[in-house]
Structure 1
Amino acid sequence: MVSTTTWYVCFREETYTNGPNVRPVQGDGGITPIPDEEIELNRPFILSDAQKSFEEKSADSNRLFLMEYDDIKKLSQIEGRKRTTNAANIDANKAKNRYVNILSYDHSRVKLRMIDDDPCSDYVNANYIIGYTYEREYIASQGPLPGTVNDFWRMTWEQSVTIIVMLTKCKEGNTDKCEHYWPDTVNEPKQYGDIVVNLISVSNMDKFDINIFQVSQGDYTRTIKHFHFLEWPDFSAAVDSTVVIDFIQTVRTHITPEVKGPLLIHCSAGVGRTGTYITIDYLLQFVRDHDLGQSVDIFAWVVQMRKNRVSMVQVDKQYIFIHRALTELIDRKRNGLLQSQDDTTILNEIVYENTAFQSDDDEEEEEEEDEDEEADAMYENSMKKVPDEHTTEL
């Protein structure tokens, strides 16, 4: 990272007011009218009251949680009308988007260095996301497509990324979620454009893998750690919060002062599981560094993330999961189980043992969730010229 000064995110008091002309807006969960009403942006609560707040909002089939999340979607629709996605919609770039409705906002997109003065060569489907300490603490990215793997590695190199967090399997069921973008075999390097990636270590930690890469461009080489979480089904929060927090804590122990670039976080679309991970990572740091009399505002945090990338924390179940994870983080703090920043070298010193663009179908894909629950649909990109069909959500 590039700064030693803690950077706190401050949300100013603010409401969004819709004008009298109500019109259908394509947004989260389909086309819905935005009512003419004020939506309160700031909804803080005291950390010590987190369990009580969770129980109150969970009552009556999560009624208050669902109301809050519906407000997030309304605010996101309003925000989306202010933002442009011009680069993502250039004809030469359309095939680089895994889903046609998950596009990078222009103002926060990660720009690659141009190749041969080609203005389209700077596009990758990824956005900077603010963090607990830095304004560009994270990059939220879609999982690479066969045709964008080289761009993914260019982004990693140019942004000085040394930690990648992958939250999806490459294939889930019969659905391709992410191209396998690293070598299959240890010490058999592969070239991606002008970047060479050598897998030097693979460690299976039961719920996740840690891959260590030596990545080279020309005469320069750096080490990149790849944390691959294996237990989180797409479009859901069907995962144990304890397991997720343990994973996030493990990753955080590797974030030493030598880590200069942002953390690169991705799932398939780079919005649902990715946004959930980033939020819990933020909360882990916040709870670690503050007493329980301080207040936190998860609602405002999610709205803020969505100003930089569409649909972050993509379904209401993930929003509820974040609040559940917060109660566990607070319990860990009370029991002295949250590692301080001074402990980040502990796991980093461990030596890991080696264990070893789209078809023409343009259907809107909707995930089958629990009865009567409407989730945010993502539409697969029918312009990608790749051999296999990509269907799905996160």
Structure 2
Amino acid sequence: MAANLQSLLGARDYVHRATNPKYLEMILQEHLGIINIPIKGTSDIFGLPKNKKKNRCLDYPCWDTSRVVLQSNNGSDYINANYVSGFDGIRKFIATQEPMPTTFDDFWNMIWQENSNIIVMLNGTRQKSQPTSQQYFSVNQDHTILKEFIIKEESIRMKAHYIYTELTICHRSSGESRKIHHFKFLDWLETGIPDVKLFLDFLLTVNKQDQHYFKQALLTHKFLPGPIVVHGNTGIGRTMAYCVADMCLYSIIRTGSVSVPSLILNARQQRRFSIPTLNHYIFVNNVILYFLVTIKSNTAVFFELRSHLTTTDACLF
């Protein structure tokens, strides 16, 4: 059964499709169709010998065309990170791998260079049996001193399913400092999928913070905030499921319809091998279904998201 990967579904049709007895088979065929479409592009910079130690996994190359190019003086402009557009805004996200000790400096250079105010970490865990991630900033209000920056934890708030940390990044040469908001989601194991309701609440919380910075910049005529930096482990599974779920929600809110496969195909042109597993694909679809079937009891959420500004709206101010 060949899947139509370009068809748009309205909200009612999307929900109705999930009642089809062959729904899971349809989802499987869609995902197979997506991952079997070859995407042309190069990853030459990723493959340079000097950059190999900067890649967490050599099985997932980083596209040349969409990669973040570091503007530093250390002789290398490479970081395993790609710009990813939102549904109606270019470069809403930067999808990247989890920083390693060898790339901590590059990671924070990117945050500063791109004027990013928000970091979303998706590979946090509350289970002691799970491996802990590399901590790229010190906790307990200590300082992380890097070559070009000092990172300090200002405050931390423990929520039911995520940890919110406010950081200050200070440029050592100029003395300029900025606030960074770090959101660490706790309920997404690498081999599973999280609770859809908790995830949607988390995604909306991050978007509210992003909108705060966006509107503040427009009103004060300052530079618009940079991309939301999103990472899990390799930056292609959980990371891109987060980005694509966001795209799908805004597609529904702005147009009343969505094509999950076409949005993923577009995402795979920006971050190679995005949404590699069926679990990730099912999860994205579950997020959309949950949003649609609960929208009548959450109309405030719908209208809040609908009012969100994007980079294409900046010309109105």
Q: How far is the alpha carbon of 1:167 from its aligned partner?
A: 0.1
Using the alignment, how far apart are the partners of 2:19 and 2:132 within structure 1? 34
* Shift in Å, 1:48: 1.6
Q: Residue in 2 aligned with 1:233?
A: 189
Give the secondary structure class of the aligned counterpart of 1:151.
helix
* Residue from 279, 287, 309 that aligns with 2:244: 279
Cα distance in 1, alignment partners of residues 72 and 229 from structure 2: 21
SS at match of 1:254: helix
- Which residue is equivalent to 2:153? 199
Q: Distance in 1 between matches of 2:22 and 2:88?
A: 37
Which one has the bigger strand percentage? Answer: 1
Rounded to whole Å, the distance in 1 between the matches of 2:301 and 2:130 is: 37
The letter of the residue matching 2:165 is: N
For residue 90 of structure 2, the aligned residue among 112, 135, 150 is 135
Give the length in aligned residue pairs.
293
State the match for 1:265 in structure 2: 230
Structure 1 residue corresponding to 2:61, chosen from 89, 103, 113: 103
Q: Does 1:325 align with 2:287?
A: yes
2:273 matched to which residue of 1? 311
In structure 1, the partner of 2:263 is 301
Which residue of the partner structure matches residue 25 of structure 1?
none
Distance between the aligned counterparts of 1:201 and 1:190, measured in 2?
15
Deviations 1:44-99 (A, max 9, x none): 2111222211232xx35821111110011111xx11xx211111111010111101
Determine if contact 1:139/1:265 at 8 Å carries over to the other structure: yes
The one-letter code sitting in structure 2 at the alignment partner of 1:245 is L
Mapped to 2, the partners of 1:249 and 1:157 lie a distance apart of: 24
Q: Kindly indicate whether the alpha-carbon contact (under 8 Å) linking 2:46 and 2:80 is maintained by their aligned counterparts in 1.
A: yes
CA deviation vs aligned residue, 1:277-321 (integer Å, no higher than 9, x gap) = 11122223333344xxx3210010001100111121121111111
Partners of 1:228 and 1:98 lie apart in 2 by 20
How far residue 190 of structure 1 moved from its aligned partner, in angstroms, is 1.4
Report the counterpart of residue 168 of structure 2 in structure 1: 214
User: In the TM superposition, what is the alpha-carbon distance from 1:177 to its structure 2 partner?
Assistant: 6.5
Q: Which residue of 105, 108, 122 corresponds with 1:150?
A: 105
Summarize the Cα distance change of 1:177–1:185 in structure 2 as closer, same or farther, 3 Å threshold.
closer
The equivalent position to 2:72 in structure 1, one of 114, 127, 145, is: 114
Map 1:371-390 to 2 at 5 A. Answer: none
Report the residue type matching 1:338 in the other structure: V
Q: Give the C-alpha shift of residue 212 in structure 1.
A: 0.2
Q: Of Structure 1 and Structure 2, which has the larger fraction of its residues in helix?
A: 2
2:179 to 210, 223, 230: 223
Deviates more, 1:42-51 or 1:151-160: 42-51
The amino acid that maps onto 2:9 is F
- Code of the residue aligned with 2:253 in structure 1: it is R
TM-score, length-normalised on structure 2?
Answer: 0.86
Instruction: Name stretches of at least 5 consecutive residues in structure 2 with no aligned partner.
Output: 218-223, 309-317
What's the secondary structure of 1:122's corresponding residue? coil
Distance 2:108 2:292 in 1: 37
Q: In 1, Cα distance between the equivalents of 2:44 and 2:260? A: 30
Matching residue's letter, 2:259: D
SS state of the match for residue 100, structure 1?
coil
The offset of 1:342, in angstroms, is: 8.4
Worse-matched range after superposition: 294-303 or 251-260:
251-260
Letter in 2 for 1:199: E
Whichever residue aligns with residue 67 of structure 2, its letter is R
1:323 positional shift: 1.2
273-282 or 173-182: which moved more? 173-182
Bigger Rg, structure 1 or 2: 1
Equivalent residue, structure 2, for 1:48: 12
Q: Percent identical across equivalent pairs?
A: 25
Instruction: Spell out, residue by residue over 1:331-382, the C-alpha distance to the aligned partner (whole angstroms, 9 max, x if none).
Output: 34322141515888xxxxxxxxxxxxxxxxxxxxxxxxxxxxxxxxxxxxxx
What is the Cα-based RMSD across aligned positions, in Å? 2.2
